[in-house]
Amino acid sequence: MASIPADKHGTGSVENLPPHETYRHAEHFRNAADEFDAAKMGVWLFLATEVLLFSGLFVFYGVMRMLHPEAFIHGSSLLDWRWGLFNTIVLLLSSFTVADAVRCAQSGDQKGLKRNIVLTFILGTAFLLIKFIFEYAPKYAEGKLPGAFFSYPNWESPYEPLWWGLYWGATGIHASHVVVGMGLFIWLYIRAKKGHFGPKHYTAVEGVGLYWHIVDIVWIFLFPMLYLIH
Amino acid sequence: MASITDTKVGSHGHDHHHDESFLTPKSTMWATIIDWATTVDHKKIGLMYLVTILFMFLLGGLAALAVRLELLEPTRTVQTMLADGSVKTVIEGQLFTVAGAANVADSNNLYNKIFTLHGLIMVFLVIVPSVPASLGNFFIPLMLGAKDVAFPRLNLASWYIYLIGSFFAIASALVGGVDTGWTFYTPYSTMTDEGHWKVVFMILSAFILGFSSILTGLNFIVTVHKLRAPGMGWFDMPLFIWGMYGTSLIQVLATPVIGITLLLLVFERLFHIGIFDPRMGGDPVLFQHFFWFYSHPVVYVMILPGMAIMSELIAVFCRKKVFGYRAVAFSSLAIAAIAFVVWGHHMFTAQGEVASAIFSALTFLVALPSAVKVFNWIATLYKGSISLKTPMWYALGFLFLFSIGGLTGLFLGTLSVDLHLHDTYFVVAHFHYVMMGGTIIAFVGGLHMWWPKMFGKMYNEFWGQIGFWLVFLGFNLTFFPQFIMGVHGMPRRYASYVDEFTIYHQLSTYGSWMLLAGFLVHLFNFIYSLAAGPKAPPNPWGGLSLEWTDADSPPTTHNFSHDPIVTHGPYDFDDVVPPQTKPGEFPLPAPLPAGARAH
Ligand code: HEM
Ligand SMILES: [Cu+2]
């Protein structure tokens, strides 16, 4: 028996308690509080790597913008800031619902927990749909594409393909994080339905919540950088 | 030994697997294989890493031998034989299809691919994960008195991710190999290789391995914070843990930057986004900045673990408190911090003069904490009861080789000197003295010291020392001549050279064969030890950290039969161990009074 399961749920059958009440912490931790702190610290460290990854991207943006301001100004003027703003609001709302999900888990409100997870999932999907239908698709059709694929006729600076490369690269990497988030919310929902989360144990909800906030914050930086600064 | 005084831990005290060695096989072979493939036991994961890393070391080593073979003579050897079409080498026939290899350019290309493969394997697949993922995984929890790392499943995942990353690297070599050098400099890496996939595979490999590295680092940081045994404060930790902690910090903080850089490089290749292409307004030097912003700190991911092992080797085999514990501990953090501001010293020929001067000055700072460590180890030797066993020989080897490597780093960090030495064999010799003379030497030393603990078998001391001398002398024979030819202007990364350099290259190639012999001796010594070595006691070297005093050899599945409580520091030899009665003896710490560890 080499395994030390990191995560043990009771079956729920003992004295008819839901799984989150009978949760036993993994045996290599001294107590559940230590386990929770460790998990949280792990998530924070992971988020630090995410922040650094995007910081690298921002530096690339800064350098390229310094080299070719005219390309970036014209490129940016071709984005519709209203969709950007709308999506910012969508994401901010989802940050609120996910925070509320954590609160529900802490207070044992199972219905609220599930509702908030579903709401966050829907908002995330909305973000992606808006992005794909109203932003990516028309740009694709008009040839506002990265580097070698660029075929938009009304360019003003020869370096605009570079701008589109960064636009697609940055928003694409961000969107892929949103997609990962969607997957995590499905996972959370399944576990919430099984009654895994309650006041004594809500580590996963908290962790995914933190991740989602970072995804949100990155967008808060991307939005002005790409859409607003002229 | 510990079990005499201890009671079992309540809830799993009746588990009959509890006292079994973690190496005990299951009833059938399949069950054993599945058990290992799905294990979350940090010890098994550490061993699986060890085996895969050693395998990669073999692959990288074969590539190195091929490179050295080519350089045995100024132009002839593999290259011209290929050009003649007269001889089909093993390399050509099997691994690399250089169709026809009808001209010198083709065979030069082959040479470029082989040294690139060597560099990539040794850096990304061997040295970066080497000590942390194998010995670190195995011993961090044991030294902390913990049952496992904080996130056992993540730990297993990191091993599988490592395998996937390695798969891409090998796949890239099998479909033809890349010739960009391990540094992937643009625009070369973006404009050559029409078929795309080889370079993309290789970059993806480095990208994926980065995840594995991040997960390991993250896991260790949390483990050190949260799973120290009761009574173990930060300054009661063995220095090995401090070194690992510094390493993990760099892994977590630097790797994401190379992650985004490599991702953009892949975009550049696949979609030509132009970010590194001057024709489209991009900047190829920007790649170098980003690459070295990661890769300089990563040279400390490579050396800190070696330094971490050094502190243990020296303390255990000198039976003395490490001189200046806090200085050694904090120098790990200082190295981790300074490492982030010196990357420009790799680009003295590629960036502006002011930047170069600043980076040159900052580079000298890095040498300070490294020197603090070296001086502290030497001070520890002073009046220590030194036992010249294989691990101690390796510790002395490290002191000698790393000092040469570090000091020559200062030559290179001196702006005016580097303009002459840059891209010569001097640089090649420098980094081999630090990476191989430092990390690999310490790694092999650590393997010998902890071998009895990991497998419960002693290795043969005589053959261990034979192996050491072959490796040590072979190493110097291989790399010292490279300093000299570097100063005389032999550039790196060329398949042929002018006649004046012949003697140095030949010495170097003979040295590489000697190194091979040394490693083979170690390998057979280890295999023999597993098959027929004498049984190891729990504490063969009289060490004082928890893996020696409180765990069996090999440890049980749950590491300890009790929850360890720390009652003395890892290096308090003067206080808790009786003095030696004759030289070379390893007296054990007095057992604790009965019941002292009960709970
Ligand atoms: C004492 C501290 C050190 C100093 C001052 C130093 C300085 C330098 C400098 C200035 C260069 C660039 C030379 C050139 O390309 O012209 C260099 C290259 C290099 N150093 Fe060090 N170094 C130090 C320690 C280390 C350590 C500990 C490692 C690894 C364990 C290391 C690995 C490397 C590698 C791999 C390269 C060559 C990279 C390449 O171009 O392929 N160095 N070092
Ligand atoms: Cu460097």
Give the separation between CA A198 and CA A102, rounded to whole angstroms: 10
Nearest CA in chain A to B144: A28
Q: Which residues surround ligand 2, an ion (CB under 5 A)?
A: B 296
Ligand 1 and B370: CB distance under 6 A: yes
Report the length, in residues, of chain B.
599
pLDDT at position B582 is 85
The pLDDT profile of chain A, 230 residues, written as one tens digit per residue, is 334 444 455 444 456 788 888 888 888 898 888 999 999 999 999 999 999 999 999 999 999 999 999 999 999 999 999 999 999 999 999 999 999 999 999 999 999 999 999 999 999 999 999 999 999 999 999 999 988 889 998 888 889 999 999 999 999 999 999 999 999 999 999 999 999 999 989 999 999 999 999 999 999 999 999 999 87
CB contact under 8 A, B35 and A60: no
Kindly give the number of the ligand 1 atom that is closest to the alpha carbon of B119: 41
pLDDT at position B567 is 85
> Is some CB atom of chain B closer than 8 A to the CB atom of A75?
no
CB contact under 8 A, B218 and A148: no
Ligand 1 midpoint to CA B433 (Å): 10
Please report which ligand is nearest the Cα atom of B348.
1
Cβ neighbours for B538, distance < 8 A, ≥ 6 positions apart: B1, B2, B548, B551, B552, B553
How is residue B413 written in tokens? 């960090």
CB contact under 8 A, B39 and A3: yes
Nearest CA in chain B to A71: B281
pLDDT at position B595 is 46
pLDDT at position B591 is 67
pLDDT at position A72 is 93
pTM to 2 decimal places: 0.90
Partners of B225 on chain A (C-beta within 8 Å) are 38, 41
Kindly give the number of the ligand 1 atom that is closest to the alpha carbon of B439: 30
Query: Measuring CA to CA, which residue among B219, B248, B215, B224 is closest to residue B145?
Result: B224
Ligand 1 midpoint to CA B516 (Å): 25
Q: Spelled out in words, what is the top-level CATH class assigned to the domain B42-80+87-532?
A: mainly alpha
Give the separation between CA A121 and CA A125, rounded to whole angstroms: 6
pLDDT at position B191 is 80
Ligand 1 midpoint to CA B305 (Å): 17
Q: Whose CA is nearest to atom 14 of ligand 1?
A: B422
CA geometry: angle A105, A110, A112, nearest 5 deg: 85
Greatest extent of chain A over all pairs of C-alpha atoms, in Å: 73
How is residue B505 written in tokens? 């290259």
pLDDT at position B594 is 47
Sign of CA dihedral B537, B538, B541, B542: negative
Query: Measuring CA to CA, which residue among B440, B311, B436 is closest to residue B379?
Result: B311
Q: Whose CA is nearest to atom 4 of ligand 1?
A: B409
Which of A3, A34, A68 is nearest residue B281 as measured by Cβ atoms?
A68
How is residue A112 written in tokens? 């609220």
Partners of B264 on chain A (C-beta within 8 Å) are 57, 60, 169
Ligand 1 and B434: CB distance under 6 A: yes
pLDDT at position B196 is 65
3-state secondary structure of B559: strand
Ligand 1 and B299: CB distance under 6 A: yes
pLDDT at position B497 is 86
pLDDT at position B82 is 53
Residue B345: strand pairing partners: none
Give the separation between CA A194 and CA B179, rounded to whole angstroms: 53
Partners of A161 on chain B (C-beta within 8 Å) are 273-274, 280
* High-pLDDT (> 70) share of chain A, %: 93
Please report which ligand is nearest the Cα atom of B182.
1
CB contact under 8 A, A4 and B41: yes
Partners of A171 on chain B (C-beta within 8 Å) are none
CA distance A36 to chain B (A): 10
Domain chopping of chain B, boundaries: 42-80+87-532
pLDDT at position B105 is 61
The pLDDT profile of chain B, 599 residues, written as one tens digit per residue, is 333 333 333 333 344 455 789 999 999 999 999 999 999 999 999 999 999 999 999 999 999 998 998 888 877 555 555 555 544 433 443 333 444 444 556 677 788 888 999 999 999 999 999 999 999 999 999 999 999 999 999 999 999 999 999 999 999 888 878 888 999 998 888 887 666 678 889 999 999 999 999 999 999 999 999 999 988 999 999 999 999 999 999 999 989 999 999 999 988 888 888 889 888 889 999 999 999 998 999 988 899 999 999 999 999 999 999 999 999 989 988 988 898 899 999 999 888 889 999 999 999 998 999 999 999 999 999 989 999 999 999 999 999 999 999 999 999 999 999 999 999 999 999 999 999 999 999 999 999 999 999 999 999 999 999 999 999 999 999 999 999 999 999 999 988 888 899 999 999 999 999 999 999 999 999 999 999 999 999 999 999 999 999 999 999 999 998 888 888 889 999 888 888 888 888 988 876 554 444 33
Which of A3, A57, A148 is nearest residue B40 as measured by Cβ atoms?
A3
The DSSP symbol for B98 reads -
Ligand 1 midpoint to CA B431 (Å): 6
pLDDT at position A14 is 52
Ligand 2 midpoint to CA B485 (Å): 21
pLDDT at position B188 is 84
> Is some CB atom of chain B closer than 8 A to the CB atom of A1?
yes
- Could you read off the pLDDT of A77-116 as tens digits, one per residue? 999 999 999 999 999 999 999 999 999 999 999 999 999 9
* Domains of chain A with bracketed CATH: 60-227 (1.20.120.80)
Ligand 1 midpoint to CA B350 (Å): 16
CB contact under 8 A, A6 and B153: yes
How is residue B144 written in tokens? 């902390």
pLDDT at position A9 is 52
pLDDT at position B3 is 34
Nearest CA in chain B to A53: B256
pLDDT at position A20 is 84
DSSP letter string, A49-109: HHHHHHHHHHHHHHHHHHH-HHHHHHHHHTS-HHHHHHHHHHHHHHHHHHHHHHHHHHHT-
Characterise B560 by phi-psi region: left (phi > 0), alpha (psi -120 to 50), beta (else). Answer: beta
CA B561 to mean position of chain CA atoms: 32
Ligand 1 and B304: CB distance under 6 A: no
Mutate which of B112, B131, B342, B412 for ligand 1? The one with the most ligand atoms within 8 Å of its CB, which is B412
How is residue B313 written in tokens? 């080797």
